[in-house]
Chain A
Amino acid sequence: MPEESTVINMMGKRKYILVFVVLILLAVLYGIKEYNRKPTDLSKVNPEATISAVALITSFKENEATANKTFLGKTVLVNGIISEIDNENDTLVNVYLGDSTLLEKVSCSMDMTKSEEYKKLKQGQQISIKGFCTGYLQDVELNRCVIFPQKNK
């Protein structure tokens, strides 16, 4: 019965093609999703290191290469006192953490999707900021920073 076997063969082929098409579709969908992925919102990321602003600055000042190995490209939670707030027409907000004994600061570029939260910040305030460490220039630089919610005592 050659005809019957051809029919079975074709059905098998169809199934195979269907699975193949579905797989390709999934791959394409995944590709589109990956391509359009936005940089991660750091408020949803657990910090890989927690440190005070002064200790962070000191570690970069003492040995930049070692500090880079520890902090570069990591999400870091930094505790410190706000020494300055730089607000460029609400399009860029930069919060500097540090103390008066150090010329260098931790310079936190804030995540501007949450710009409303930065209006209440004040100089001299104790704060915890989570940010992505991009390295050390004159200051220790953190990007995409978010305010880490303080626990109520």
Chain B
Amino acid sequence: MKIKILFFILLLSNVAKSQQKLYTKNGSITFTSKAPVQTIEAVNNKVLSVWETATGNIEFSLLIKGFQFPKALMQEHFNENYLESDKFPKATFKGVIENSKNILFTNDNVINVKVNGLLTMHGISKQITIPAAIKIKNGEVSAMSNFIISLDDYAIKIPSVVSESINKKINVQISIPLFKPLTK
């Protein structure tokens, strides 16, 4: 009897989970440029993400001015000259997780997925596919992703004077420490 009740509760919670939205306001995105002269790294800890688990639709958005650099000059150049954050204050990604029906939220596991979607920044949108790892542990959902973007794709121009200091291929690392259920 007890087992039956437990099973029923599990079933219910499963149904509830499959319809819900997961979200975070505290995702972090780090980007790294490795060039002969210097390595530049900046982090944004205020990434907003909403994931509709039933459909696999997932969205990210962040504020360009929210990237923090160890050096002020880098941050100023990044905002004023390269990303023009007064004109384009946000970057967004709207995509779909491939085969998201295979993600089991009930068991502890790590699943590798592909996410297809539109990345928009600096006023330019590009269709991209990124790999991601989704981890479920003790009912908590976290996610990681690592991929490379090219500055040329987003019309971000680097003057030749600093071409030895900035790599045009930027490594992007996304880390969502905890996706929380969105309650209305």
Partner-B contacts on A (CB < 8 A): 34-40, 68, 72-73, 86, 88, 92, 94, 107, 109, 132-139, 141, 143-144
Contacts and interface: CB of A to CB of B under 8 A. Distances in A.
Nearest to A38: B72
A94 B66 CA distance: 14
Contacts, number: 64
A37 B73 contact: yes
Q: DSSP majority for the B interface?
A: mixed
A38 B71 contact: yes
Which of under 10, 10 to 19, 20 to 34, or 35 or more describes the interface residues of B? 20 to 34
A75 to B, nearest CB: 12
B26 interface: yes
B45 interface: yes
Interface of B: 25-26, 45-46, 48, 61-66, 68-73, 75, 79, 85-86, 89-90
Contacts of B89: 68, 72, 134-135
Contacts of A136: 63
A47 to B, nearest CB: 17
B72 A134 contact: no
A49 to B, nearest CB: 16
